[in-house]
Amino acid sequence: MSALPRQEIINRRMPIVVFFLATISGLLLFAVSRYQWLPPEVQREFLLRGQANVSSVRRLPAERGLIFDRQGQPLAFNTIEYEIGVSPNLITRDKRLDVARQLGVILQRDEYELLQLLNSNTSWQLIARPVSAQIGQQIADLNIFGLIINPLSKRFYPQGELMSQVLGFVIESNDNTRGAMGVEGSYNQTLAGRTLQEQVSAIPFGLPSDTKPTGQRGMSLVLTIDRDIQFWVEEELRRALEQTGATRGTVIVMNPRNGDILAMASLPSFDPNNFIRVSDPALLRNPAISETYEPGSVMKVLTIAAALEQGVITRDWTYNDQGVLTVGGINVRNWDRRAYGLVDVTTLLVDSLNVGAATVAMSMGTDEFYSRMRAFGIGQPTRVDLTGEEAGIMKVPGDPDWSEANLATNSYGQGLSVTPLQMLTAVNAIANDGLMMQPRIVYQIIDGDKVIDAQPSALGRVTSKQTADIVTEMMVQVVEREGGVARARVNGYTIAGKTGTAEIPSPTGYETGPNSSIVTFVGFLPADDPQISVLIKLDRPNEYWGSIVAAPVFRQVAERLVILLGIPNDQTRQLLQAEGGRVNSGGR
């Protein structure tokens, strides 16, 4: 058989080839058309992958809100530093070495290291963060296309160490900042504002936008703290540490009527502008709310108030003090080991008798005693608007390590622990006619042109006004009566107060010897119309007793406060009241 001509072979096979190509084309068209009907989540994934090849996303933090004291003095604001970045695709290869050399001179960096950054295959590369305004300007003057200079907001505290443990500080890392400790931590979201995002193009000839999105600025805060009061309180506390040999100390000044914290000072302290250099982590806590201690005899104020409110005792109640009381297998003794005989309740408080306090608590019974101590806030946080607050410890019946001896010792402030703010808040209830107010540190929130006032809030009524008045009269006698705490007196003003001297617990019991006590004085004035309350706490002073060490510090602080706050003395107030006037300098 002779071979078919080539043209005829081609003609016979052509339909097969055409059919095959048409089939393949149809399949390809079908496959391509399927992308028009992909599920939404698949389409989004392809879109994101496509964008990732030509751009990247960078976070732009908002400008942080400012912090002011109650008089409008700045306590925390922002200064400008700069971040230097580069879009490597916008700098031609023949210029990169020269750019690296110029940057190396200004930034004092190795030019080979910088050249590696310029040669990186990324849309944006960080070169330096932060740099000063001077260095930022020098780099801007190079006028190199592709270099990106972004302003950064840096937190600055113009008062230095003043109230640092109240303010806290800001931790900055790359494109994220967060408040830590104090107001900066507790109000971080309010101060930080809203972080936005910026698309950065990776296309070599995609020019950067002239306008960049800006974040929503954080809200600003006005504190209840008064800078001038805070300054003098810290000065008096520093002087007290030097004079008494105490290792640490805390002073809190409040308005008992509304819970405003006018000053909160603890030493030693730190500079929030250089918090990174602090070697002792304990300094980065606020002892006024974060460290607990056994308050000692200040607790007798709460014990007597609770018993009066319950009706177990009256202002005329007496008992026979024999100098020792056996409870739960322990012997409770008075601080001076003396027996006082027939004693009334005011003398119990004036002479600070442990036997008397334990006798009152035993008369109340466990359920009533601990219920009323919880009402005073013992063993639970005050919920002040600061980070790091501790609840303290108060063992109660039912706890595995509670015994009847705890009921006796708790009545005079041993065997339980409180924070300084807890203790002052509880005593403030007596100053405020039995109504305990929520402690607060923020007075106003400023959102642009809008000002939001923080309203005072009550934690609850713990005693009647009648009970509070009786206890206040007793606290006045603590300061005024012969043998009382005379060192706390302020000329022209009636003071209500109580000292506390507490032993320091150790793994083997309580410490003994020199520098083995924590002393406290809590007082308010004027006693008949309290405008301010003050707590003084000193750790391990050379002298053992609170009446000797803490009471004089209270006097020094109070003498300055009545001037700064313009609180008239008793005689002036009585004249004003006789003419129908009223003085309330402690409020805002």
pLDDT classification of 482: cutoffs 50, 70, 90: low
More confident residue, 375 or 43: 375
Look over the chain and give the mean of its residue pLDDT values, rounded to a whole number. Answer: 87
pLDDT classification of 587: cutoffs 50, 70, 90: very low
Return the minimum-mean-pLDDT range out of 330-334, 339-343, 439-443, 580-584. 580-584
Q: Are 325 and 319 in contact (CB under 8 A)?
A: no
pLDDT of residue 31: 66
Q: How far is CA 30 from the centre of its chain?
A: 64
Q: Are 520 and 502 in contact (CB under 8 A)?
A: yes
Q: What is the third-level CATH fold of 227-445+454-578?
A: Beta-lactamase (3.40.710)
Mean pLDDT over residues 509-517, rounded? 86
pLDDT classification of 297: cutoffs 50, 70, 90: very high
pLDDT of residue 481: 81
pLDDT of residue 406: 96
3-state secondary structure at position 546: helix
Concatenating the DSSP letter of every residue in 245-296 gives: --SEEEEEEE-TTT-BEEEEEEES---GGGGGG---GGGGS-HHHH--B--G
What does pTM read for this prediction? 0.81
pLDDT of residue 160: 94
Q: Are 217 and 194 in contact (CB under 8 A)?
A: no
Q: Tens of pLDDT along 376-388?
A: 999 999 999 999 9
pLDDT exceeds cutoff 60 at 86 = yes
The CATH code of domain 79-156 reads 3.90.1310.10
Mean pLDDT over residues 322-335, rounded? 94
Best CA proximity match to 310, nearest among 365, 354, 378, 379: 365
Q: Are 471 and 432 in contact (CB under 8 A)?
A: no
E strand intervals along 158-219: 169-173, 176-180, 196-201
pLDDT exceeds cutoff 50 at 207 = no
Q: Tens of pLDDT along 224-276?
A: 999 999 999 999 999 999 999 999 999 999 999 999 999 999 999 999 999 98
User: From residue 568, how far is each of 68, 399, 473, 577 by CA, in Å?
Assistant: 27, 49, 20, 12
pLDDT classification of 195: cutoffs 50, 70, 90: low
pLDDT exceeds cutoff 70 at 455 = yes
Give φ, ψ of 470 to 5 degrees.
-65, -45
Mean pLDDT over residues 439-446, rounded? 96
- The residue extents of the domains of the chain are 79-156, 227-445+454-578
How do strand 442-447 and strand 517-525 relate by DSSP bridges?
A: unpaired
Q: Tens of pLDDT along 139-164?
A: 888 888 888 888 777 889 999 999 99
Mean pLDDT over residues 467-489, rounded? 89
pLDDT classification of 118: cutoffs 50, 70, 90: confident
pLDDT exceeds cutoff 70 at 1 = no
